[in-house]
C-alpha cells in the first residue's frame, strides 16, 4: 500500500536483480535497477503500490473502523476478505455492514459509505486491542485468476502489471546491447500523489523517461473514446508527452508489428509521467498503458499477451531512440 511497499519492493528487486547490473532503494522506497553502462539515461517507471485501507478506530465490540489509503471505492468492500498488517503478524478478517433487514428508514438505493462498514476479526474486544493499533494497514485478499484465453483477473494489476511490462522489457533489452543506461524503477506512493516518481525523476536525472500504467479497457457500460480493446498496447498523446517520442513510439510499433492505439490526454495524466516530466529542468516523457477492465477492484482484468507486447515495444523503442540519440532534435 502507499507508504508501506517494503515487502513487494524486496520481491521486485529479487526478480530484476539477475537482469540488471546495479540496484538501489531510495529514501521513499523506490526500487531502481540499472541495465547498461553508457549512452542516454532512460528512466522507465511503473508504480508498485496498491490501494488499501488503514485502521482508524477500534469499536467497543472489537470491530475496526477504517479509512482509505488510495482510491478505494466503498461499493466493492462489503463481504470482502482482508488482512490487517499488525506488528505481531497478519490478522484475517471480513468487511461487514449492518444487514439491510435492520436498516430501518434507510434508502436501499443509496450507495454504501465507508463509515457504514467495519472489519470483523472474530476476536473478543480485549484480544483485538492487544494485537491491533490505529494506523495498521489493511490489505484486500484476492488471488489472481486465469480466465479464458489470455485473460488474467486480480487485484493490484494497477500497476503491478506495469512492473511486469518493465520486466519483459528488461528481458528483451538484455540481449539487444542497446547503447543506453536504463533505470527500471518500481515507484512508490503513486496512488496518493505520484510521490515516488517525483523523487526518482530527480535522483536518476534522466535524459528521457517512459512511464507505464493502466488505462480503461472496453467492457459493459464503457463509452466511445473512454476505453480501449484489451488486445492493444496504448500510447498517449498530449502535453504530458513529448511529441518526438510519441512519433518514435509509433515508428517502433509499425516496424515490429505491435498493435497499438493512441489515447489523447489533454491534461497532466494520472500517472508517474506527470511528475517525471517536470523533474529538475524537465524530462521528455512517453507513456505506455495496458487496457484494464474494472479498475480499482479486486478483479482488474487484462490480457497477458498485451503485457508481453508492451514490454517488447518498449525495448525496441529504447534501442531505436538510443541509437539515434545524437541526431535527435527535440524542438
CB of 89 closer than 8 Å to CB of 20: no
What beta strand segments (E) does 89-180 contain? 89-97, 117-120, 137-140, 145-146, 151-154
CB hemisphere CA count around 93 (13 angstroms): 29
Q: What is the pLDDT along the chain (331 residues), one digit of tens a residue?
A: 888 999 999 999 999 999 999 999 999 999 999 999 999 999 999 999 999 999 999 999 999 999 999 999 999 999 999 999 999 899 999 999 877 666 666 666 777 889 999 999 999 999 999 999 999 999 999 999 999 999 999 999 999 999 999 999 999 999 998 999 999 999 999 999 999 999 999 999 999 999 999 999 999 889 878 899 999 999 999 999 999 999 999 999 999 999 999 999 999 999 999 999 999 999 999 999 999 999 999 999 999 999 999 999 999 999 999 999 999 988 8
Kindly provide the b/e burial profile for residues 270-303, where b requires at least 16 CB atoms within 10 angstroms of the residue's own CB.
ebbbbbbbebeeebbbbbbbbbbbbbbbbebbbb
Q: What is the pLDDT of residue 225?
A: 80
> d(Cα 96, Cα 63) in Å, to the nearest integer?
10
Residues with a known catalytic role: 190
Read off the pTM: 0.94
| Contact residues for 215 (Cβ-Cβ < 8 A; gap 6+) | 227, 228, 234, 263, 289, 290, 291, 292
Structure confidence at residue 283 (pLDDT): 97
Please state, in angstroms and rounded to a whole number, the distance separating the CA atoms of residues 117 and 127.
21
Q: Nearest-CA neighbor of 217 among 158, 258, 257, 274?
A: 158
> How far is Cα 90 from Cα 86, in angstroms, rounded to an integer?
6
Cell of 213: 500504467
Give the per-residue pLDDT at 100.
66
201 close to 207: Cβ distance less than 8 angstroms: no
Q: Give the per-residue pLDDT at 1.
A: 81
- Domains in the chain with CATH codes: 6-50+155-327 (3.40.630.10), 52-140 (2.40.30.40)
Residue 14 in 3-state DSSP? helix
> The sheet that has 300-303: what strands, in order across it?
145-146, 151-154, 300-303
Give CA torsion, residues 92, 95, 96, 97, to 10 deg.
150
What per-residue confidence (pLDDT) applies to 97? 86
pLDDT at 221: 87
Question: In the β-sheet with 31-35, what is the strand arrangement from edge to edge?
Answer: 22-25, 31-35, 181-187, 41-47, 208-216, 285-292, 233-237, 260-264
Cis peptide bond upstream of 159, omega within 30: yes
Amino acid at each position: 500500500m502507499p507508504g508501506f511497499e517494503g515487502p513487494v519492493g524486496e520481491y521486485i528487486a529479487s526478480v530484476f536483480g539477475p537482469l540488471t547490473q546495479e540496484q538501489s532503494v531510495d529514501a521513499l522506497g523506490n526500487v531502481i535497477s540499472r541495465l547498461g553502462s553508457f549512452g542516454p539515461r532512460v528512466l522507465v517507471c511503473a508504480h508498485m503500490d496498491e490501494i488499501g485501507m488503514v485502521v482508524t478506530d477500534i469499536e467497543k465490540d472489537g470491530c475496526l473502523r477504517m479509512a482509505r489509503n488510495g482510491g478505494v471505492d466503498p461499493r466493492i468492500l462489503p463481504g470482502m476478505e482482508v488482512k490487517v498488517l499488525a506488528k505481531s503478524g497478519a490478522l484475517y478478517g471480513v468487511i461487514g455492514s449492518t444487514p439491510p433487514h435492520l436498516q430501518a428508514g434507510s434508502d436501499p438505493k443509496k450507495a454504501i459509505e465507508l463509515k457504514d462498514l467495519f472489519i470483523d476479526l472474530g476476536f473478543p474486544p480485549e484480544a483485538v486491542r492487544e494485537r491491533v493499533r490505529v494506523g495498521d494497514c489493511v490489505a484486500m485478499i484476492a488471488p489472481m485468476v486465469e480466465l479464458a484465453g489470455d485473460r488474467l483477473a486480480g487485484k493490484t494489476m494497477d500497476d503491478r502489471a506495469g512492473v511486469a511490462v518493465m520486466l519483459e522489457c528488461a528481458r528483451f533489452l538484455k540481449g539487444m546491447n542497446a547503447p543506453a543506461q536504463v533505470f527500471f524503477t518500481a515507484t512508490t506512493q503513486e496512488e496518493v500523489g505520484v510521490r515516488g516518481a517525483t523523487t526518482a525523476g530527480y535522483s536518476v536525472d534522466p535524459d528521457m523517461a517512459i512511464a507505464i500504467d493502466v488505462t480503461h479497457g472496453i467492457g459493459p457500460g464503457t463509452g466511445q473514446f473512454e476505453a480501449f480493446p484489451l488486445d492493444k498496447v496504448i500510447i498517449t498523446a498530449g502535453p504530458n508527452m513529448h511529441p518526438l517520442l510519441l512519433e518514435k513510439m509509433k515508428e517502433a510499433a509499425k516496424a515490429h508489428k505491435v498493435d497499438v492505439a493512441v489515447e489523447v490526454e489533454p491534461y497532466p495524466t494520472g500517472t508517474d509521467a506527470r511528475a517525471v516530466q517536470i523533474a529538475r529542468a524537465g524530462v521528455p516523457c512517453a507513456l505506455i498503458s495496458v487496457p484494464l477492465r474494472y479498475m480499482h477492484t479486486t478483479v482488474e482484468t487484462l490480457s497477458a499477451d498485451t503485457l508481453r507486447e508492451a514490454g517488447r515495444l518498449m525495448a525496441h523503442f529504447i534501442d531505436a531512440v538510443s541509437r539515434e540519440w545524437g541526431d535527435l532534435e527535440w524542438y
